[in-house]
Copies of this chain bind each other. A is one copy, B any other.
Amino acid sequence: MARYDAFDRYAADHMPAWTDELAAYCAIGSEQSDHEALRAAATWTADRLSRLGATVDVVALDDETVPPLVVGEIGSGSALNAVQHYDVQPGVPLELWTTGPYLPEVRNGRLYARGAADNKGELLARMWAVEAYLATIGDLPCRIRFLVEGEEESGSTHFGPLLDRRPGLREADGALIEGGGIDLRGRPQVVSGVRGMVGMELVCRTIAYDAHSSLATLLPSATIRLVRALATLWDDEGVPVVDGLEAGVRPPTPAQLEILGRIPDDEIEDLKHVFGVDRFVAGLSGQAAIRALTFHTTCNVQGLWSGYTGPGDKTITPAEARARLDIRLVPDQDPAVVLQAVRDHFSRRGFGDIEIVPFSFQYRAWWTPPDHPIVTAAVRVSEEVLGKPTIHDLSAPGTAPMHEVCAAGNVPTTSLGGADDECRAHAPNESFRLDYAEAAVRMTGRFFDAFAAIPRGSRSSG
């Protein structure tokens, strides 16, 4: 442990300054729709990587509206791709924030701001680990390559083409998912994979324009039609019953089930407290809930709107109704096949007139076998720093473009980081707990050594 004494002191001493730095980064509201803020965030990221000593390469497409990929490379030896992003989820609904999403504020040991955890905090913690390592230990034992994109929250639409511009970027010995997790009991969470996703907008149109609602007896309402179509997607318990939703699912292996079996029930039950519910969907609990969260394809409505939604009321029968679905995939599901399954589901039920517009992006899942040394390394350093047993899961319930980065080179991947289960990523009052930010720095510094010790060529199919 003596190896990291100075490193850990450096991290502790620098947390106040680093917190200010994170606040400055988060003050840039780099939402998908704000091109100027995205440019500012890209520049901020490139500057910070330069100050770290990294070789910086800002990769752009000919289309200037596409946020560039900021690449920062430092160190030598085994190559580790840190897959990050500088864009953030939209801040809305603004009225639910205690302070504005882009007015970062420290309260009760947490920095509150959109992006504080997802992903600016996790990204900076990795940069801080490099800084502390260089300042207190010496040259990095491996080559860290930060791949920081600006479209992660809107689907990484151009991440592939941007990577294609620099063919070497996908060549690596390992990859880090954008961050990591710490549960409500302070236990590290390590995942060795991510979900895929296919998203779509449903558009239902019935009449030429909104009608006076007195005609509702005769005129087909787009709202009612979409509601009735959507209602066929789940059973009475809210469990998806889309025909073919599970197409392509690779059955769980005994090894996978064994890994899941080690996860204590409280890990999943604690989510009930976080979200204020007595019961999960379909009454799932314990191991059944853990397996469902890992292996089941989701079918989520992220938004739904029709008719008049402003203050007061407006007596119309709506001509149009829209909903956006996101469906999270597992290996080896093909987004195109699942998209077609949704189309077929609606067609078979007489809703073939509902237009389905796929999002401009889709992901496949990418799972590394849970006993791969890169995963074991992440588990070990996390436990060393947090002093508690790791919750190891096969996959994050969420999505990240790891398949895009890793599949060509069959690069093994793991998570590592400090965002806790109360960070409210994607929700109002997102925050990053600052003592966990410091813990993330400490685990990441140790991970550099652990990763460097893995024999090169330990690749493993995703």
Q: Which residues of A contact B (CB under 8 A)?
A: 32-33, 89-90, 92, 96, 153-155, 195, 197, 199, 206-221, 223-225, 227-228, 230-231, 233-234, 236, 238, 268, 271, 274-277, 279-281, 284, 289, 292-293, 296, 298-318, 321-324, 326, 328, 359, 396-399, 424-429
Q: Which of chain B's residues have a CB closer than 8 A to the CB of A292?
A: 217-218
CB < 8 Å neighbour of A218 from B96, B153, B289: B289
Residue in B238, B314, B428 whose CB lies within 8 Å of A225: B238
B314 adjacent to A303 (CB under 8 Å): yes
Q: Which residue of B has the minimal Cβ distance to A225?
A: B238
Chain B nearest CB, measured from A83 CB (Å): 17
Q: How far is B197's CA from A207's CA once the two chains are assembled, in angstroms? A: 23
Q: How many Å lie between the Cα of A30 and that of B314 in the bound state?
A: 14
Give 29 CB contacts A-B under 8 Å: A90-B310, A90-B312, A96-B209, A154-B313, A209-B428, A212-B425, A212-B427, A213-B302, A213-B426, A214-B398, A216-B298, A216-B300, A216-B328, A217-B293, A218-B281, A220-B238, A220-B281, A223-B303, A223-B304, A224-B233, A224-B301, A227-B301, A227-B304, A228-B236, A228-B238, A304-B306, A304-B321, A305-B305, A307-B324
Question: Contacts A217-B298, A219-B275: A231 and B234 contacting too (C-beta < 8 A)?
Answer: no
- Asked if A217 and B296 sit within 8 Å, CB to CB, the answer is yes
Which B residues are in CB contact (< 8 Å) with A302?
213, 307-308, 313-318
A311 to B429 alpha-carbon distance, docked (Å): 21
Contact A218 B268 (CB under 8 A): yes
Knowing A228-B238, A314-B303 are in contact, say whether A308-B213 is a contact too (CB < 8 A): no
User: Are B307 and A214 interface neighbours, CB within 8 A?
Assistant: no
Partner among B210, B214, B236, B268 whose Cβ is within 8 Å of the Cβ of A428? B210
Per the bound structure, the CA–CA distance linking A154 and B238 in Å amounts to: 36
Question: A316: which B residues are within 8 A, CB to CB?
Answer: 302-303, 426-427
A395 to B, closest residue via Cβ = B214
A310 vs B224: C-alpha distance when bound (angstroms): 21
Contact, CB under 8 Å: B210 / A426: yes
> Shortest Cβ distance from A79 into chain B, in angstroms?
28
Contacts A301-B223, A304-B305; A426 near B216 (Cβ below 8 A) = no
* A300-B221 in contact given A195-B214, A212-B398, A214-B396 (Cβ < 8 Å): yes
Contact in complex: B89, A397 (CB < 8 Å)? no
